[in-house]
Amino acid sequence: MAVTATTPPPSTVLAAPRTPRRSGRRRGDIAIALFFLAPFLAVYGLFVVWPVLQAGRMSFYDWDLLGYTREFTGFDNYRRMLWGTSMTWDLSHLAGLRAVVLAATAALVVRSVRRRARPLSTVGTGAAGLLAAALLGVHPGPGGGWNDPGFWTSVRHTAEFTAISTPILIGLGLAMALALRGQHRGTAFYRAAFFLPYVLPVSAVTLIWSFLLNPDRGLVAGGLQRLGIEPIAWLSDPQLAMWGIIATTVWWSVGLNLVLFLAGLQDIDPSLYEAASLDGAGAWHRFRHVTVPGLRHVTVLVAVTQLIASFQIFGQVYIMTRGGPGDATRVVIQHIYEAGFRNLQLGYAAAISLVFFLLMALVSAIQFRLTAREA
Amino acid sequence: MATPIPTVTAGDRPAPAAAAPAGPPTRRRIRFRPGVRHGFLLLAAFVWLLPVLWMVSMALTPNDVQQREPVGLLPDGLTWSNFADVFQLGLMLRWFGNSVVVTTAATVLTVAVCAMAGYAFAKLRFTGRRLLFAVVIAGLMVPREAMFVPLFLMFSDTGQQNTYQALFLPRVAFPLGVFIMTQFFSRVPDEYEEAARVDGAGPLRVFWSIMLPLARPAMASLAIFTFVLTWNDYLWPLVIATEQEMFTVTTGLASLQSNFAAATEIGSLMARGLIGSLPLVVLFLLFQRQLIRGITLGSGEK
C-alpha cells in the first residue's frame, strides 16, 4: 500500500532565503552537488522516470511477454480499453455520477472566481469538468458491448470500494483522533492499539480476516449467532464480498489517518479554544468553529492520501477473493496484473497502467490546487 | 494566503534536548469522568485488537482440535508445536531470511541515498536546483503500484528475476525520502556549515561529521518508515520473485492462504502469520514515536 503519495508544493521546502551566489565557486558547487545527487538521480531515473516513459511506448505495441511479438499497433490498446461496439451517447446514462461531477466542477469554478484565480485556470477547470461529464454519457448501445468489459467491471469496483471506504476511513480516523486528543494518561497506549494493525503485512491481515469472516468458524459468525442471526458467508456472496474487503481495509489502515489527524489536532492553537470558551461557545460550537477549520488542511491531505491508496487496492482483494466470487471484487490493479502476467499482454497492461497513472496524477494535481490556496 | 509550510516538530530540530510540544490542554472542559473515558477506550482498544488476540489463540491451539471445532479467544489445549513447525516445515524461515535481506538493504540504501540528495537540495547552491527538486517531487505522483509492468520487463530483460537486487533496488527510488531529508536539512541553521567551512572542512566532511549526526532523528524516522513499507510490499515481490525460494514473508504468507491444505493446518498457518509480522510489531513497539513522526513528516504535514 502506497501510503503517502501526496504532492506537497515544492516551493515550501526550498523557500529558505537564498544566499547570494559566489560566482567563483559555482562550478565546483555543481560538481559537488552532482556527487551528492548522483545516487538518487540514478535510481530515480531508472526506476521511476524510465518506467513511465517505457509504459508510454509499450502502450502502442502488441507486446507479448513470452511470444516475442513486438508489433506497433497504434491506438489499438487504448481502443480496446476505452471503446466498444455500437457506442452511443445519451443524457441519462450514469446520470447520478455525472450530476456529482457537474456539481464539483461548479463548486471549483465558483471557488476560483471568488479567489480571483487566473481566468485561464478557471476556464480550464470548468471545461475539464464539463468534458468529463459529457464523456461519461458514452456507452455501448443496445446489442453492443465494451471491447474489454472486465476493465470496466474493475473500474466500477475500484470506484465503489473507494467511494465507500474513504468516508469511513476518514470519519472513523477523525472520531478516534478526537477521542484520543489531549494529554491524558494512557493516550499513547490507545494510539498504539489502534495503530498496530497498520504495521502488519497485508497477507497477515487477510489471514486473520479470512478466518474472522468465515461463516463456519469465524468470530463474526459466532458473535452474530449469539444474537440469533444466521452465519453469513461474507466473502463468497457477491453482494457482500466487497463489504468484507472494506471491513478488512478499515481495520488495517485507519490507524494511519488517526495518527495524521492527531498531529493536526496538536497544531491547533489552544488559545483559540480558550477564546471560544470565553465567548460562551458550547462544545459543538467549538468543534464547528475551531476544530473543523483548524483541521481543514489535514483533512484534504488525508482525503487525497486515502483516495490514492484506495485506487490502488490490490493485496486484500487478490489474496482474500481473487477478485471473486465471479468478478464481484475485481479491481483495476488486478486487471493490470492479470492482463500482463496471466494473459501475457504487456502492451495492453502498460496502456491501462498509464491511464490509471494519469488519473491519479490528476487527483494529486487537484489536491495541489486545493492545498496551495488553502489556509 | 500562505501556502501550508510543513514544519518540523521540536523533536526533529538539531537541538537534542527539545521535547515534543504539548497538545491543547483539554482538561478545562468538563467531559466524561476519567474513569468512564478510560473504560470506554479500553473496551474499544480491546475490540480493535480482538482479531490479533484471536490469531494468537489459534496459533496456540493444536491443529487437530481446530479441525473439529472453531477456536474462541482462549486457546483450546495449549501447544507450542505450531511455532516449532514454522522452523521445521516449509519455507517460512527462508522467506523470513529473504525479507530480512531485502528490507535491510532497501532501508540502508534508501536512507543513505535520500540523506545525500536531501543535503544537496537543502544546503548546496547550484544551477537548476529548483527545477531538479520539482522533478523529484513530481515523482511523488507516480503510483508505485501502477508501473510494475515496465519495471518487470527491465529486470527480466537483464535476467534478474528472482534476485535480491530486483526486490530491493526499485524501493530505493523513494522521492518521499528525499522530501523528508530536504525538509530536515533546510531547517539546520547555515551557521553550522559556515563555521565548519571556516575551519577548512570541505562539503564531504561537513556532510559526514556535522550534518549526518544532526540528522539522526530524521534518518531514524525515514529508516523505520522504509522498513515497514518494504517488509509489507506485496505487488512487486509477487511480480518479480516467482520462485518459491525467493518469496518474501508477505508473498509467502499469501501463497499459503491460497493453498487448499491451509484449511487443515490453521494453527501452523496462524503461527506463521505471527512470526512473519513479529519484526514489525517489535519494531513498532520499540520505535513507535519515530515511525509516527516519519509518517507525519512524509505527509508534509508536520
CATH number for the domain that contains residue A288: 1.10.3720.10
Q: Are residues B43 and B162 in the same domain?
A: no
- Reduced to 3 states (helix: H, G, I; strand: E, B; else coil), residue A68 is coil
**Could you tell me if B266 and B63 are in contact, meaning their C-beta atoms sit under 8 angstroms apart?**
yes
Q: Are residues A348 and A290 in the same domain?
A: yes
Contact at CB, A277 and B29, closer than 8 angstroms: yes
Min distance B173 CA to chain A CA atoms (Å): 5
Window 63-102 of B: residues touching A by CB (8 A cutoff) are 66, 70-73
Partners of A222 in beta bridges: none
A307 within a domain of the structure (yes/no) = yes
The pLDDT value given to residue B3: 36
Considering only CB atoms, A263 lies closest to which of B25, B173, B301, namely B301
A14 within a domain of the structure (yes/no) = no
Identify the residue whose cell numbers are 481473487: A322
Domain residues for the domain of A119 are: 87-145
B7 within a domain of the structure (yes/no) = no
**Is pLDDT larger for residue B106 or for residue A324?**
B106
- Residue B16: pLDDT above 50? no
CA distance B136 to A358: 17
CA distance A185 to B20: 16
Domain residues for the domain of B103 are: 90-298
CA distance B171 to B237: 11
Q: Are residues B283 and B242 in the same domain?
A: yes
Task: Judge whether A285 is closer than 8 Å to chain B, CB to CB.
Answer: no
Q: Are residues B245 and B103 in the same domain?
A: yes
Q: Are residues B135 and B52 in the same domain?
A: no
- Region B32-44: what's the mean pLDDT? 81
Considering only CB atoms, A357 lies closest to which of B137, B142, B179, namely B142
Contact at CB, B280 and A199, closer than 8 angstroms: yes
**Could you tell me if A336 and A356 are in contact, meaning their C-beta atoms sit under 8 angstroms apart?**
yes
Q: Quick one: cell of A316?
A: 486484500
Segment (H or E) for A61: strand A61-63
Helices marked H in chain B — which ranges?
34-59, 63-68, 81-88, 92-123, 129-138, 148-157, 164-172, 175-185, 190-198, 203-206, 212-214, 216-231, 235-240, 249-258, 266-298
Min distance B273 CA to chain A CA atoms (Å): 5
CATH of the domain at B224: 1.10.3720.10
Q: Are residues B75 and B97 in the same domain?
A: no
CB within 8 Å of B155: residues ≥ 6 apart: B161, B163, B166, B240
A82 within a domain of the structure (yes/no) = no
Q: How far is CA A73 from the centre of its chain?
A: 31
Segment (H or E) for B204: helix B203-206
Average pLDDT of chain B to the nearest whole number? 81
A105 within a domain of the structure (yes/no) = yes
CA distance B143 to A366: 16
What are the DSSP calls for B155-190, one per residue?
HHHTT-TT-HHHHHHHHH--HHHHHHHHHHHTTS-H
Contact at CB, A190 and B190, closer than 8 angstroms: no
Q: Are residues B157 and B199 in the same domain?
A: yes
Considering only CB atoms, B301 lies closest to which of A39, A216, A264, namely A264
Considering only CB atoms, A312 lies closest to which of B145, B190, B204, namely B145
Min distance A59 CA to chain B CA atoms (Å): 10
B122 within a domain of the structure (yes/no) = yes
On the 0-12 / 13-18 / 19+ scale of CB atoms within 10 A, B21 is: exposed
Q: Are residues A240 and A294 in the same domain?
A: yes
Report the amino acid identity of residue A57: R
Q: Quick one: cell of B23?
A: 497538545
Segment (H or E) for A358: helix A346-373
- Region B83-107: what's the mean pLDDT? 90
Partners of A146 in beta bridges: A84
The string over A41-65, giving b where at least 16 C-beta atoms fall within 10 Å of a residue's C-beta and e elsewhere, is bebbebbbbebbebbeebbbbbbeb
User: Which of B74, B147, B233 best probes binding to A when mutated, by most A CB atoms within 10 angstroms?
Assistant: B147
Per residue in B48-66, pLDDT (tens digit) is 999 999 999 888 888 777 7
B21 within a domain of the structure (yes/no) = no
**Per the structure, how many domains does chain A have?**
2
Q: Are residues A333 and A357 in the same domain?
A: yes
According to DSSP, residue A72 is labeled E
Contact at CB, B120 and A201, closer than 8 angstroms: no
Contact at CB, A200 and B281, closer than 8 angstroms: yes
Min distance B286 CA to chain A CA atoms (Å): 11
Chain B residues close to A70, C-beta within 8 Å = none
Q: Are residues B130 and B57 in the same domain?
A: no
Task: Judge whether A4 is closer than 8 Å to chain B, CB to CB.
Answer: yes
Q: Quick one: cell of A116?
A: 480571483
The pLDDT value given to residue A26: 52
The pLDDT value given to residue B257: 84
CA distance A22 to A30: 12
The pLDDT value given to residue A29: 72
Chain B residues close to A188, C-beta within 8 Å = 288
Q: Quick one: cell of B80?
A: 507450542
- Region B127-143: what's the mean pLDDT? 85
Last residue of a domain, one of A125, A145, A165: A145
B108 within a domain of the structure (yes/no) = yes
How many residues comprise chain A?
375
Q: Are residues B285 and B158 in the same domain?
A: yes
- Residue B217: pLDDT above 90? no
A32 within a domain of the structure (yes/no) = no
Q: Are residues A92 and A174 in the same domain?
A: no
Min distance A92 CA to chain B CA atoms (Å): 32
Window 52-81 of A: residues touching B by CB (8 A cutoff) are 52, 54-55, 58
Q: Are residues B112 and B181 in the same domain?
A: yes
CB atoms within 10 A of CB A131: 12
**Per the structure, how many domains does chain B have?**
2
Per residue in B176-216, pLDDT (tens digit) is 899 889 988 988 888 888 888 888 888 888 888 888 998 88
Last residue of a domain, one of A145, A173, A189: A145
| Helices and strands (H and E) in chain B: how many | 15, 0
Q: Are residues A94 and A240 in the same domain?
A: no
pLDDT in tens, chain A (375 residues): 334 434 444 445 554 444 444 444 555 678 888 899 999 999 999 999 999 999 999 999 888 887 677 888 888 889 888 888 888 888 888 888 899 999 988 988 888 888 887 888 888 888 988 998 888 888 888 888 888 889 999 999 999 999 999 999 999 999 999 988 876 778 888 989 999 999 999 999 999 998 888 887 787 877 777 887 777 888 888 888 999 999 999 999 999 899 889 888 888 888 888 888 888 878 888 888 888 888 888 888 888 888 888 888 999 999 998 887 888 899 999 999 999 888 888 999 999 999 998 888 887 777 766 666 543
Last residue of a domain, one of A95, A130, A145: A145
Contact at CB, A4 and B239, closer than 8 angstroms: no
Closest CA to A165 of A90, A76, A254, A98: A254
Min distance B220 CA to chain A CA atoms (Å): 16
Q: Are residues A205 and A128 in the same domain?
A: no
The pLDDT value given to residue B23: 46
A236 within a domain of the structure (yes/no) = yes
CA distance A357 to A52: 9
CA distance B252 to B231: 12
The pLDDT value given to residue A373: 52
